[in-house]
């Protein structure tokens, strides 16, 4: 399989404080990588760097063979590098249907059109319906977002991302804040992501990680300290150190 | 379309017929002025002038009751001005329009007059050009050029050769600058520098610095009455220009009586030319001041717009008398052309050609009265001044 | 050279006068997050009280200032209770609507009771005398304004940075719910801050009356100036307000000296330039 | 709900139809109200025409503020640009009213482009201050260029030819009013169309969360700039209408005061619906007119009290109040089906 996406030596410091250090990572078509790490390891910063919300101090981001490091967030999205947000960023007065319709129209370059109507646009309605039904959101398609359950809002985040037909998808804690009763629906949605899509998921829920990911990368203090198969993670010394270090030290001091 | 137009025509005709009053009906006069907002004081003076006139001369002419309707136009706003005038004419059926403080507001009303068959008597708005807009306009106030022009000669007579002019950067300010420059240079002086200050200037010390640096022997100033005047005069004193012997000439707007208490001693010795001083010594003025004070509440608030309104009402009364209550703008205006009378400000007349008032201009000096209050003391009279702006056209 | 120095002194005095009038608004907008367009109305109320006390009652200038501040705060208390409390945390435009409404009311009421004339606050003799500073004279009250400005800036800095009230205030501003949980009586903190801001407005109105004369339309006439100065400085920042006032005072004064007919162009062009470079004002807090 | 899940397309079109019908009813209501105004207040047509001109200005603010999330206290710059452009054209011999409106729209759009380019560099309070600075600069420029604009004396002597060569702009102001009403209807219908286009939806999104919009792959700046240009055209039409109906253009048409008043009217009526803009304008100006006629000296207190009262009773603006009521009834209806 061809390499779709690669970051190399990605580094970001705020003042003197390095929050991402020399991160390198590559993804192929259909990849399913989980990026895990303790709180404050710099996971969201990493996503912001990759998607262009932040400019790196050093290193580069390559998408489909093109260096996109100097491109803005919007340009990267248009090239197929799409993210979701850890805390949902949705338009509280719009419906899921409107969200997805807007996204599809935008993808097709029709979102800035003045001389067509937004609602009742039959050309995109089919696609919108497909996306919503894949995610099980059809029944709330016409409700305002602020009136639907948080789990459904998380699904809509994914739906918006899918509507952009991404090549690489960065999921920032897709299950964060969702009550455990609703987690299966999210998991279900994740399973049904397009096969060719390269997905990088940040997640805390290890069960989800192990079921979803074919590879795992561990980020600690801004550095990738491990990349490999899920089954190897638990056994890795560095990872144990990163997660359990404090306790280990505590024991040795005592 | 044609039918619609015909119906419209009939409706218009009916409306016109309807608005011609029968004998001894109430005649309405619409007064537009700034009764609220930043110029509320001037509007109040309109009202005082009108009420004083009606108190002294009765509320009816030849048996026609006169009713005054006030409409508020807080700041220059031609669109609102037109709307108010239109409503007064069409809805309230006034036969005469009066008042108007700002030039653009008058400009917005003039196109209506012919069709409305209504004369407009301007109590204030002081730009020459208004009079040429419509033959149905009569003005009883002054123009800036009219009050300013005598200053040129006065300055030279007082031994001043070099003057710096400092005016607010708007229509009347520019008029004043031009009028003064023309008169002063004709008399042999020289305006060494002409400064135009933005209207919203609050701190005038940089301007005073410029006055000082210009090497002029006197400053000619024009600012709209109110807070800016206060700041300007204070800065003139505080920056030591007064002590340095730099003279101060201005049209009377700057030392209008209602601002004098606020100016206090700072204003002492300022020389201004104007058509009216509240202190003018004549029996007519005494009666006027008494009546107007009653209307406005306190003599301290009384100032020049009141006399413009007072004489404006006089003109309107004469018009009503001449037309005997019939709505006939041409006849009304013709009746007051060339008319002369003794106003509280002194002898005045309406110029038959320009329909603008001919009046005395007085040189006044701000002095302290026996009661310790400052007032404009008339020290020289320039009789029968016409508006030079209109005369040259 | 002499002229330049002279202009500099004028600019400094004008800047300090702006500061003293605007700093109260900066606090309300920056710390309490209320766009209080009625700020000028309170300054004007204070001016009327001081004018009444000094001119009509013949009380001293210092007494008049004191009475004006106390009086204005007393008048503001019911307004805070009944009206302002409803708009803490409301969208800015709602606050604009409310405070413009208050301003209209105050203007109308003032006009009704006190008439539309200018009101002066007689200065004591010592402040009316021009003071000779070597190469020129400067009005005594200008020096007084400068002194007041410095005292206010220093006092506020001390209050906010060095006292326990300041700590509570900053905590409340950053996170009201958290401060509440920690036992800070946020309602009281807000009320006191509001009173301080009003008191500053009052002081500014009275002391600055020589620059911005007191009349009913005061609140609307200078509203733009207040808003511009506060935003350029960065709402809530004392240092920012000082810098903005001095800088804008300097631009204004120099502009009016060099090219008076383009004075406003200079001023607003400077504002546009500054805002484009410092979108949050000089020392604005992140929003 | 089952039904909806099976045949979403029918539902979609019916929803679109519902929106269409709602807008059609809205526009018809405005037309009816406008005509009612014509018959009920035949003597106040100049005032009503002024209301329409200002309503266009308020609508234009709603576009950038209510839909784009950019608060402005300088919209009169665009209104004034339209008014002066139409005025100057008229004085120089272009007297056909529709052409003048077009000139006003173009001038407003150009001014909008300029204003947007500057304002969109900043956010929040700084943005508001930029808008103030710009309108003050426009005001100053209009004052300075008195050779063209008449300065503070106003640009007088606009002789507009009869509309379609037949209807004079006369004292009674019938032509001006009906012309204005027609313009308002056309502009309003177009704006309803625009805000319910994908572009309008995108703007609403930007107002709520520009970061999300960027993450959808859409640029924010050009979209808002486009909105500014449209808004400028609308404001310019309002200005041109004011110029035509008044036959004078004054400096007040590029003033901060007009901008601030218009924003107050918008907030009073409610943001982001376009209907609110109309409601706010009519209520504010109507109220002002009535109280200032009753007491020309102290009416300001009453207007102030109105504003305070509205904030206390309906913080979301008057149309928000209406919306809440209609929302309740709509939800009830939805429950029934």
Domain boundaries, chain D: 25-254
Instruction: Give the relative orientation of helices D45-61 and D174-195 as an angle to the nearest 10 degrees.
Output: 20
DSSP states of B134-182 as a string?
-TTEEE-S--HHHHHTHHHHHHHHTT--EEEEEEESSHHHHHHHHHHHH
Q: Please give the span between the terminal C-alpha atoms of chain A, in angstroms, as a whole number.
A: 51
Task: Provide the pLDDT confidence category of residue C203 given band limits of 50, 70 and 90.
Answer: very high
| Interface probe with B: pick from D143, D172, D177, most Cβ of B within 10 Å | D172
Contacts of B70 in chain D (CB under 8 A): 296
3-state helix/strand/coil string of C124-157: CHHHHCEEECCCCEEEHHHHHHHHHHHHHHHHHH
| Nearest CA among B57, B52, B61, B54 for reference residue B27 | B61
Q: What whole-number distance in Å separates Cα of residue D257 and Cα of residue D266? A: 14
Could you tell me if D259 and D238 are in contact, meaning their C-beta atoms sit under 8 angstroms apart?
A: no
Q: How far B240 CA lies from chain C's nearest CA (Å)? A: 7
pLDDT number for residue D104: 95
Q: CA dist C186 to C167, C176, C181, C182, D269, Å?
A: 12, 7, 10, 10, 33
Q: What is the percent of chain D with per-residue pLDDT over 70, rounded to a whole number? A: 90
| Nearest CA among B349, B173, B321 for reference residue B251 | B173
pLDDT per residue over A148-178, tens digit each?
888 889 889 999 998 999 999 999 888 888 8
* Cross-chain Cβ contact A117/D222 below 8 Å: no
Q: What whole-number distance in Å separates Cα of residue C114 and Cα of residue C255? A: 36
Tokens read off for D113 = 């482009």
Out of D144, D246, D296, closest to residue B70 by CB: D296
Asked if B215 reaches chain C (Cβ–Cβ under 8 Å), the answer is no
Q: What is the percent of chain B with per-residue pLDDT over 70, rounded to a whole number? A: 93
In this prediction the pTM is: 0.88
What does the buried/exposed string (b/e) look like for A97-128 if buried means 16 or more CB atoms within 10 Å of the residue's CB? bbbbbbbbbbbeebbbeeeeebbbbeebbebb
Backbone angles phi, psi at D113, to 5 degrees: -60, -45
- Dihedral over Cα of B195, B200, B206, B207: its sign: positive
Mean pLDDT of D270-280: 90
* Cross-chain Cβ contact B78/D49 below 8 Å: no
pLDDT at C286 over 80: no
Fold of B146-274+361-391: Rossmann fold (3.40.50)
pLDDT number for residue C48: 93
pLDDT per residue over C50-66, tens digit each?
999 988 888 888 899 99
pLDDT per residue over D108-134, tens digit each?
999 999 999 999 988 878 888 899 999
Residue carrying structure tokens 């700072």: B266
pLDDT number for residue D43: 80
Window D:115-144, CB contacts with B under 8 Å:
140, 143-144
Q: How far B197 CA lies from chain C's nearest CA (Å)? A: 5
Mean pLDDT of A111-115: 84
- Mean of the per-residue pLDDT values for chain D? 85
Could you tell me if D259 and D73 are in contact, meaning their C-beta atoms sit under 8 angstroms apart?
A: yes
Determine the 3-state secondary structure of A108 from DSSP.
Answer: coil
Q: How far D146 CA lies from chain B's nearest CA (Å)? A: 9
Q: What is the percent of chain C with per-residue pLDDT over 90, rounded to a whole number? A: 19
* Cross-chain Cβ contact C256/B36 below 8 Å: no
Residue carrying structure tokens 């359990």: A244
- Dihedral over Cα of B196, B201, B202, B203: its sign: negative
pLDDT per residue over A59-107, tens digit each?
889 988 888 888 888 999 999 899 988 888 888 888 898 899 899 888 8
In terms of Cβ atoms closer than 10 Å to its own Cβ (0-12, 13-18, 19+), residue C64 is buried
Task: Provide the pLDDT confidence category of residue C103 given band limits of 50, 70 and 90.
Answer: very high
Q: What is the percent of chain C with per-residue pLDDT over 70, rounded to a whole number? A: 97
How many CB pairs below 8 A link A and D? Answer: 123
- Dihedral over Cα of B113, B117, B122, B126: its sign: positive
- Dihedral over Cα of C61, C66, C69, C74: its sign: negative
Please tell me which of C204-208, C225-229, D229-233 the model is most confident about, judged by mean pLDDT. Answer: D229-233
Q: What whole-number distance in Å separates Cα of residue A195 and Cα of residue A193? A: 6
- Dihedral over Cα of B322, B328, B329, B331: its sign: negative
pLDDT at A180 over 90: no
Q: Which domains does chain A have, with CATH numbers?
A: 3-253 (3.40.50.300)
Q: What whole-number distance in Å separates Cα of residue A31 and Cα of residue A1? A: 10
pLDDT per residue over B259-290, tens digit each?
888 888 888 888 999 999 998 989 999 999 99
pLDDT number for residue D106: 96
Residue carrying structure tokens 């004292």: D171
**Strand B137-139 versus strand B190-197 pairing type:** unpaired
Q: How far D223 CA lies from chain B's nearest CA (Å)? A: 34
pLDDT at A120 over 80: no
Say which residue, A235 or D211, is predicted with more confidence.
D211
ipTM score for this prediction = 0.86
| Interface probe with D: pick from A52, A99, A119, A170, most Cβ of D within 10 Å | A119
Domain ranges of chain B: 24-142+281-355, 146-274+361-391
Architecture of domain B24-142+281-355: 3-Layer(aba) Sandwich (3.40)
Determine the 3-state secondary structure of B282 from DSSP.
Answer: coil
Q: What whole-number distance in Å separates Cα of residue D146 and Cα of residue D78? A: 18
Q: Please give the span between the terminal C-alpha atoms of chain D, in angstroms, as a whole number.
A: 10
How many CB pairs below 8 A link B and D? Answer: 133
Residues of chain B with pLDDT under 70: 1-24, 390-393
A and B interact (at least 3 Cβ pairs within 8 A): no
Out of B166, B209, B262, closest to residue C120 by CB: B262
Q: How far C138 CA lies from chain B's nearest CA (Å)? A: 6
Out of B36, B75, B82, closest to residue D297 by CB: B36
Q: Which residue in chain D is spatially nearest to C29 when comparing CA positions?
A: D125
């Amino acid at each position: 399989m061809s390499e779709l996406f690669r970051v190399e030596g990605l580094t970001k410091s705020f003042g003197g404080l390095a929050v991402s250090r020399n991160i390198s990572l590559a993804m192929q078509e259909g990849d399913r990588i989980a990026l895990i790490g303790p709180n404050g390891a710099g996971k969201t910063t990493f996503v912001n760097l990759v998607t262009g919300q932040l400019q790196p101090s050093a290193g580069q981001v390559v998408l489909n063979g093109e260096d996109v490091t100097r491109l803005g967030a919007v340009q990267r999205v248009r090239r197929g590098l799409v993210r979701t947000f850890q805390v949902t960023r949705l338009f509280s007065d719009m419906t899921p249907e409107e969200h997805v319709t807007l996204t599809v129209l935008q993808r097709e370059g029709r979102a800035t059109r003045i001389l067509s109507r937004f609602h009742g646009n039959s050309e995109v309605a089919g696609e919108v319906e497909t996306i919503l039904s894949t995610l099980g959101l059809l029944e709330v398609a016409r409700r305002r977002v602020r009136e639907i359950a948080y789990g459904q809002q998380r699904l809509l985040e994914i739906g918006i991302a899918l509507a952009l037909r991404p090549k690489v998808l960065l999921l920032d804690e897709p299950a964060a804040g969702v009550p455990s009763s609703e987690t299966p629906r999210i998991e279900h949605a994740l399973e049904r992501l397009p096969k060719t899509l390269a997905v990088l998921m940040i997640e805390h829920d290890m069960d989800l990680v192990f079921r979803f990911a074919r590879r795992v990368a561990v980020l600690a203090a801004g550095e990738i300290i491990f990349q490999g198969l899920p089954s190897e993670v638990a056994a890795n010394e560095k990872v144990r150190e990163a997660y359990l270090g404090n306790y280990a030290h505590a024991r040795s001091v005592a | 379309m044609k039918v619609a137009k015909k119906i419209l025509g009939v409706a218009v005709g009916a409306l016109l017929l309807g608005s011609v009053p029968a004998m001894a009906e109430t005649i309405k006069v619409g007064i537009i002025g700034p009764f609220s907002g930043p110029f509320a004081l001037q509007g109040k003076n309109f009202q005082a002038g009108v009420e004083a006139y009606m108190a002294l001369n009765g509320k009816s002419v030849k048996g026609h009751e006169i009713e005054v309707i006030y409409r508020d136009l807080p700041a220059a706003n031609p669109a609102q001005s037109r709307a108010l005038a239109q409503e007064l004419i069409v809805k309230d059926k006034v036969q005469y329009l009066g008042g108007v403080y700002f030039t653009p507001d008058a400009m917005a009303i003039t196109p209506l007059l012919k069709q409305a068959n209504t004369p407009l008597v301007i109590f204030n708005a002081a730009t020459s050009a208004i009079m040429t807009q419509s033959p149905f306009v009569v003005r009883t106030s002054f123009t800036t050029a009219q009050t300013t022009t005598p200053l040129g000669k006065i300055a030279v007579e007082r031994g001043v050769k070099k003057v710096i002019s400092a005016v607010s950067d708007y229509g009347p300010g520019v008029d004043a600058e031009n009028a003064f420059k023309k008169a002063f240079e004709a008399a042999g002086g020289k305006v060494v520098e002409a400064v135009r200050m933005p209207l919203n200037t609050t701190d005038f010390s940089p301007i005073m610095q410029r006055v000082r640096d210009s090497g002029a022997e006197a400053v000619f100033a024009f600012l709209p009455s109110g807070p800016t005047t206060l700041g300007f005069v204070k800065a003139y004193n505080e920056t030591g220009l007064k002590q340095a012997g730099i003279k101060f000439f201005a049209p009377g707007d700057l030392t209008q009586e209602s601002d004098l208490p606020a100016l206090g001693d700072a204003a002492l010795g300022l020389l201004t030319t104007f058509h009216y001083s509240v202190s003018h010594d004549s029996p007519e003025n005494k009666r006027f001041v008494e009546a107007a004070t009653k209307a406005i509440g306190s003599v301290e608030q009384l100032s020049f717009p009141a006399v413009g309104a007072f004489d404006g009402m006089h003109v309107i009364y004469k018009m009503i008398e001449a037309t005997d209550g019939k709505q006939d703008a041409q006849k009304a205006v013709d009746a007051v052309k060339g008319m002369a009378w003794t106003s509280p400000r002194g002898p005045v007349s309406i110029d038959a050609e320009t329909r603008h008032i001919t009046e005395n201009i007085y040189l006044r000096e701000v002095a302290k009265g026996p009661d310790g209050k400052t007032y404009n003391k008339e020290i020289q009279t320039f009789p029968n001044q016409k508006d030079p702006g209109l005369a040259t056209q | 050279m002499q002229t330049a120095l002279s202009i500099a002194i004028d600019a400094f005095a004008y800047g300090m006068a702006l500061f003293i009038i605007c700093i109260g608004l900066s606090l309300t907008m920056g710390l309490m997050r209320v766009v209080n367009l009625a700020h000028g109305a309170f300054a004007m109320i204070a001016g009327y009280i001081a004018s009444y006390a000094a001119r009509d009652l013949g009380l001293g200038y210092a007494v008049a200032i004191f009475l004006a501040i106390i009086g204005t705060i007393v008048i503001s208390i019911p307004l805070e209770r009944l009206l302002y409390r409803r708009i803490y945390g409301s969208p800015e435009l709602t606050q604009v609507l409310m405070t413009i409404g208050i301003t209209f009311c105050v203007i109308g009421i003032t006009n009704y009771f006190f008439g539309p004339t200018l009101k002066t606050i007689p200065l004591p003799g010592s402040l009316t005398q021009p003071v000779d500073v070597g190469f020129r004279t400067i009005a005594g009250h200008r020096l007084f304004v400068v002194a007041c400005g410095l005292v206010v800036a220093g006092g506020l800095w001390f209050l906010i940075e060095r006292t326990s009230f300041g700590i509570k205030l900053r905590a409340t501003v950053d996170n009201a719910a958290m401060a509440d949980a920690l036992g800070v009586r946020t309602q009281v903190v807000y009320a006191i801050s509001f009173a301080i801001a009003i008191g500053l407005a009052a002081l500014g109105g009275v002391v600055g009356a020589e620059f911005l004369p007191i009349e009913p339309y005061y609140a609307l006439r200078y509203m733009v100036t207040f808003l511009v100065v506060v935003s350029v400085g960065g709402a809530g920042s004392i240092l920012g307000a000082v810098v903005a006032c001095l800088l804008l005072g300097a631009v204004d004064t120099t502009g009016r000296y060099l090219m008076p007919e383009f004075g406003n162009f200079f001023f607003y062009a400077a504002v546009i330039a500054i805002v484009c470079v410092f979108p949050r004002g000089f020392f604005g807090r992140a929003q | 709900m089952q039904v909806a899940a099976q045949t979403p397309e029918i539902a979609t079109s019916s929803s679109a139809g519902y929106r269409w019908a709602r807008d059609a009813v809205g526009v018809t209501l405005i037309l009816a109200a406008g005509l009612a105004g014509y018959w009920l207040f035949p003597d106040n047509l100049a005032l009503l025409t002024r209301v329409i001109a200002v309503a266009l200005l308020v609508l234009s603010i709603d576009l950038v503020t209510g839909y784009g999330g950019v608060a402005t206290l300088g919209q009169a710059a665009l209104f004034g640009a339209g008014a002066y452009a139409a005025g100057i054209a008229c004085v120089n011999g272009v007297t056909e009213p529709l052409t003048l409106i077009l000139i006003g729209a173009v001038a407003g759009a150009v001014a909008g482009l300029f204003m947007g380019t500057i304002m969109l560099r900043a956010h929040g309070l700084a943005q508001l201050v930029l808008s103030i600075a710009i309108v003050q600069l426009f005001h100053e420029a209009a004052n300075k260029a008195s050779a063209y604009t008449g300065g503070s004396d106003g640009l007088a002597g606009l002789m507009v030819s009869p509309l379609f060569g037949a209807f004079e702009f006369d004292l009674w102001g019938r032509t001006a009013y009906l012309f204005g009403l027609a313009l308002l209807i056309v502009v309003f219908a177009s704006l309803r169309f625009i805000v319910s286009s994908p572009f309008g939806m995108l703007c609403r999104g930007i107002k709520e969360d520009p970061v999300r919009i960027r993450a959808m792959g859409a640029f924010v700046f050009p979209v808002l700039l486009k909105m500014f240009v449209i808004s400028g055209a609308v404001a310019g039409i309002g200005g041109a209408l004011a110029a035509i109906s008044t036959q004078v253009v004054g400096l007040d048409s590029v003033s901060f005061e007009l901008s601030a008043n218009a924003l107050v009217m918008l907030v009073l009526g409610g943001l982001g619906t376009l209907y609110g803009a109309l409601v706010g304008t009519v209520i504010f100006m109507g109220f002002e007119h009535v109280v200032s006629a009753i007491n020309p000296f102290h009416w300001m207190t009453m207007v102030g009290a109105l504003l305070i009262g509205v904030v206390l009773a309906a913080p979301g603006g008057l149309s928000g109040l209406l919306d809440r009521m209609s929302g309740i009834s709509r939800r009830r209806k939805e429950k029934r089906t």
